[in-house]
Structure 1
Amino acid sequence: MTSWPFQEAEQILQEFPNKKEIILETGYGPSGLPHIGTFGEVFRTTVVANALKKIAPDIKTKIIAVSDDMDGLRKIPDNVPNQEMLREHLNKPLTMIPDPFCTHESYGHHMNSLLCKFLDLFEFEYEFRSATECYKSGIYDEKLLLLLKNYDKVMDVMLPSFREERQQTYSPFLPICPKTSQVLQVPIIERNEDKGTITYKNSNGEKIEVPVTKGRCKLQWKPDWGMRWAAFGVNYEAHGKDLTPSAILSSQICRILGEKPPLLFCYEFFLDKEGKKISKSKGNGISIEEWLTYAPTESLALYIFQSPKKAKRLYFDVIPKSTDEYLEFVKRYNENKEKDINSPVWHIHQGEVPNIETSGINFSLLLNLAAACNAENKEILWGFISTYAPNVTPENNKMLDRLSDFAVRYYHDFIKPTKAYKAPNEKEKEALLDLKNTLHSLSITATAEEIQSQVFSIGKKHGYVNLRDWFQLLYETLLGQKTGPRMGSFIKLYGTGNTIFLIEGAIERTLRIELC
């Protein structure tokens, strides 16, 4: 068992031997809209939990998804409505701010509902926990009082991580102002362990004493993280690379509170099209809804699963490749009599990998078909598919039908706006004419491989030492793109007659330029 979820599961069992239940946790900061990075953290945690179930079926596993919805809103995200209204509620807990989308009880409740919606889409098994509810219900009270008792030890851990100016005002406890409801970052001037209270001065210089329990205070996020591990008995958590220093501090705090910190899994960032870390507040990545507009959920799961310790660009141009890789993994898994549980699709489908047959048609091929015929709807694509594979219908091949729908949307939004056809020069025109004549002479029963062989031969015949240049010419002149499909498969699907029509159109473009 060599895939990374199994390796993580083995480490958990070594780190926590003789445990009857393993608790895995994932956290969500609901200040901004959930993005794929947020979703990916839960997915990765889930595949580790599933790996644990496979190798240690007698041990219970539980995933806790915690939303830090009691955090104060420090900055208004760029991608949410009603910015002026939100500005009036800065620094208040997210669950005490009106919902800018006007659909839920609060801003925090709205964001939490979005998270749960997408987790449920993949049928993840998890227990959702709201930080607000945990603080107010008293679930955290025991650990909060213990932290108050060990205040100096916690400060000894935290203060070295700050600059001198911040050290003078830092406290792990953040009181909730009884008048403004704001989360206050103020110095603590007195502590009373017997009463379980802290005292601070408000803006008028008045001393305010508040309990650290029942939601009257919350913790700074690093102490909060460690306290949460201690309160829930967390054994495993995945986190982004940027949180590694924080995770070290939180682990120390967890120990101060009398519990063993979890085994941590550090994963790399998702990057936007400019190579910058994606951010909920900036909205510079792909939202889950956007990905699922153009491709099936399984393609998203595969992209998240692969190479978690490698930084990867997360933009719309990765969708076709991920979709085709998913189809290929499924094909290989089902062709192998001895099923490979290290395959990504075993983890994605929790061992129940479907048998998907698309008659050799992948997503990229459908995209290029849509580009060639300027498809307005999937029915146009099915006209070609039905000719290519008469026994295949939308009713008996749901995946191919879904892919056709996705392909048309992707084509209209990302390919059509950038199409730019190249007019071939005289040498290139001769090669295209040769291809046209060859296609005329081909038997109607010629296979995709036989057509591909002929295309190769014509490229070599016309002096293309690097055949990539020959195929790029075909993509640019026939499809108006820099990249494209395996031409034999495309011509077989699109039809030789239709391909000849494309070639004639390319040659006509040259003639029009010459006449001008």
Structure 2
Amino acid sequence: MGGPSGRPVIGRGTWLDRVAYRLIERERRLGRSLDLLRVESGIAASGIPHIGNLSDPARAYGVALALRGLGHNSEMILFSDDMDGLRSIPAGLPQTLKDYLLMPVSRIPDPFGCHESYADHMLSKMTDVLDLMGIEYKLYRAREVYGSGLLSDTINEVLRNSQRIGEMIKSMTGQEKFLSELLYYPVCKGCGRIYTARAVAYDEGRRAVRYVCKGIEVKKIMHEGCGYEGWSYVGDGDGKLPWKVEFAARWKLLDIRFEAFGKDLIDSVRVNDWVSRNILGYEPPMHVKYEHFIDVGGKKFSKSAGNVFSPQEWLRYAPPQTLLLLIFKRSVGARVVSPRLIPTLYDELERLEDIYFGRVRIEDERLRAKLRGLYEYIHLLRPPQKPRAHAPFRLLADIVSIAPQDQLREFTIRRLQKYGIAYDEYLLDKAERVRRYLEDFGELSPVAAAVELSEAERQAIEEIVGVAEGARDGEEVQSAIFDAARRRGIDPPELFKKIYLLLLDRPHGPRLGPYLFDIGPQRLREALLRLSSRSHVQN
């Protein structure tokens, strides 16, 4: 299919398809097999996952789906970094974890007592969400990969070239640390910590690293070493590679062809690319750089800082497709993420569904293909067979806010019927989620639509407000809208559209007279006042 410019639409027309196409072309140029194209996402196991953490495997899986759509077999590797040390205690977690700082998170007991380790507990928070959303993955745990000896040959190659790599790290990043110590983090047999033990010599014949537990400063806190001196055998799982070289080792081991990264890892990825090519003899995967999700204060989400909005929390108020819409709708630019996005994304999901099933026409062919493709991807290429019943989040908020606690569904059905809106299980589920949202976050912010009103339209709306204040029922208000429009020579559908925009931030909605009667005229009056303050009146 082609667009107006004549250029063909790649796949489903989204950025995921463009990435997949570029990846396939790259692999063809490299002459590598296209039988299985593996994408990877690394997952930290050091704290409670937030929405930013979810975005990495979701994007990777989206690329895998796009590769399949272009006719190639693909799978996503989820790699749990559970050999990393616990550098700090994440906000809200027990202070008893202080005794385990700098120990590998896979060797720390689960403070909640429900998993074998701290790492397994935190990993389950991510895999539970991925499973719920239908995102498929093949899981590798660092502790198992290192302990199985799968990386022994690669670690040997890195350690044999440690001086050369250390010099390149200094050249590329300015970091001099690996000029004086080897590229390996042993786990100290004396105290069980991983970063305090410094690798000082390598016996290639025994494949053993000699280390001394000297101590290290992490996040401006000095952690003293225990003084233990010993040997760590690279195939026994009692140590790991630093991130500056570990990515490269994983790429070669697992034959990874694509891995995205956040901008905070630019230096690490550059070094790993060099190590992969020049030391390990493996062409590194294709990369896409993305910006982080940030909170309303402009700060990157952080497990240690505690500004975490988890996927589990989001899914209390909206279905998985809204989260995937947040992640898939674009690939670049930092995004502010807060619960206040949920109403907008919920309604945006329904607009995409209307476009997908032809309820809303998009004339631009490329844009239509892109939006239809986006709808398919947020459903992981398993979209509904038919459209569901829709209603604006704000309309449902008006209904559920006055519904009896024990009769939410029955009350919602009666109101929807009154407003001429069909309902189904999807819409009733949305009403329940909306109530939950209001209970936890309070009422919605006022509509901020920049509606342009002529003076005649403003006068008509002021008249409607006056009638609504003393109306006996919704039918009286409905008639008043038509009368106010006709008296001023306004096309009634245009006036309805303007009022819907003022109340619901969309050009259509429920049967307006009954709805306006139920919510009262005050909200419409306040919307007019906000318009006046923004000076959108046309004379």
Which of 466, 477, 480 is 1:434 aligned to?
Answer: 466
1:495 is displaced (CA, Å) by: 3.8
The yes-or-no answer on 1:286 pairing with 2:309 is yes
Match 2:24 to one of 5, 13, 18: 13
Matches within 5 A, 1:64-463: 64-80=77-93, 82-83=94-95, 85-160=96-171, 166=177, 169-203=180-214, 207-255=229-277, 256-335=279-358, 340=369, 343-355=373-385, 357=387, 359=389, 361-371=391-401, 373=402, 376=405, 377-389=408-420, 392=422, 397-416=424-443, 431=463, 433-436=465-468, 443=475
- Report SS of the residue matched to 1:325: helix
Q: Identify if the C-alpha distance between structure 1 residues 491 and 275 changes in structure 2 by more than 3 Å, giving closer, same or farther.
A: farther
Contact 2:322 2:342 (C-alpha < 8 Å) held by counterparts: yes
Question: Aligned equivalents of 1:356 and 1:493: distance in 2?
Answer: 30
Q: What secondary structure, in the 3-state scheme, does the structure 2 residue paired with 1:402 have? A: helix
Counterpart CA distance in 2 for 1:335 and 1:130 is: 45
Distance in structure 1 (CA, Å) of the matches to 2:413 and 2:513 = 10
After superposition, what is the alpha-carbon deviation per residue over 1:243-264, rounded to whole angstroms, capped at 9, x for unaligned? 1221111111112112110000
Q: Specify the code of the residue in structure 2 equivalent to 1:436.
A: A
Distance 1:352 1:208, change over 3 A: closer
**Superposed CA offset, 1:37-92 (max 9, x none):** 11111111111111111112xx3212110010010101110032x22x20001111
Distance 2:487 2:87 in 1: 63
RMSD: 3.7
Q: Give CA-to-partner distance per residue, 1:113-149, whole Å, 9 cap, x none.
A: 1211111112222101110111101121121112122
The answer as to whether partners of 1:368 and 1:485 remain within 8 angstroms in 2 is no
Mean Cα deviation higher: 195-204 or 136-145: 195-204
Q: 1:202 to 1:455 in 2, by over 3 A?
A: farther
User: 1:177-205 CA distances to partner (integer Å, 9 max, x unpaired)?
Assistant: 11221103444332222221221224576
Contact residue 77 and residue 140 of structure 2 kept, 8 A: yes
Q: 1:285–1:315: 8 Å Cα contact kept in structure 2?
A: no
Question: Structure 1 pair 188/90, CA: closer, same or farther in 2 (3 Å)?
Answer: same
Q: TM-score, normalised by structure 2?
A: 0.78
Q: Write out aligned runs for 1:43-62 (5 A).
A: 43-56=58-71, 59-62=72-75
Describe the SS at the equivalent of 1:262: coil
Report if the CA contact (8 A) 2:85-2:102 is conserved. Answer: yes
- C-alpha distance in 2 between matches for 1:412 and 1:459: 42
Task: Report the alpha carbon displacement of residue 318 of structure 1 after superposing the two structures with TM.
Answer: 0.6
Q: Give the partner amino acid of 2:411.
A: I
The change in CA–CA distance for 1:284 and 1:37 in structure 2 (over 3 A counts) is: same
Q: 1:241 and 1:399 mapped to 2: Cα distance? A: 38
SS at match of 2:125: helix
Q: Any gaps of 5 or more consecutive residues in structure 2?
A: 1-9, 215-225, 447-458, 491-495, 527-539
In the alignment, what sits opposite 2:453?
Answer: none
Cα deviation for residue 374 of structure 1 reads 6.3
Query: 2:237, 2:204 → 1: CA distance?
Result: 17
Q: How far did 1:211 drift?
A: 1.5
Q: Among all aligned residue pairs of Structure 1 and Structure 2, give the percentage whose two residues are the same amino acid.
A: 27
Query: Alpha carbons of 1:69 and 1:332: their partners in 2 closer, same or farther (altered >3 Å)?
Result: same
The residue aligned with 2:493 is none
Supply the distance in 1 between the matched residues of 2:253 and 2:171 (Cα, whole angstroms). 25
Q: Which deviates the most, 328-337 or 245-254?
A: 328-337
Q: Is the 8 A contact 2:468 2:477 kept in 1?
A: no
* Aligned twin of 2:451: none
Asked whether the 8 Å contact 1:431–1:459 carries over to 2, the reply is: no
2: CA distance, partners of 1:441 / 1:184: 73
User: What TM-score comes out, normalization by structure 1 length?
Assistant: 0.81
Name the SS of the counterpart of 1:282 in structure 2.
Answer: coil
Alpha carbons 1:268, 1:309 under 8 Å: kept: yes
Q: Does residue 26 of structure 1 match 2:26? A: no
Q: Using a 3 Å threshold, how does the CA distance of structure 1 residues 435 and 489 change in structure 2: closer, same or farther?
A: farther
Count of residues in correspondence between the two structures? 474
Residues 437-446 or 380-389, more deviating? 437-446
Instruction: Give the match's secondary structure for 2:256.
Output: coil
| CA offset digits 1:342-375 (Å, max 9, x no partner) | 531111224332155455522232123334x366
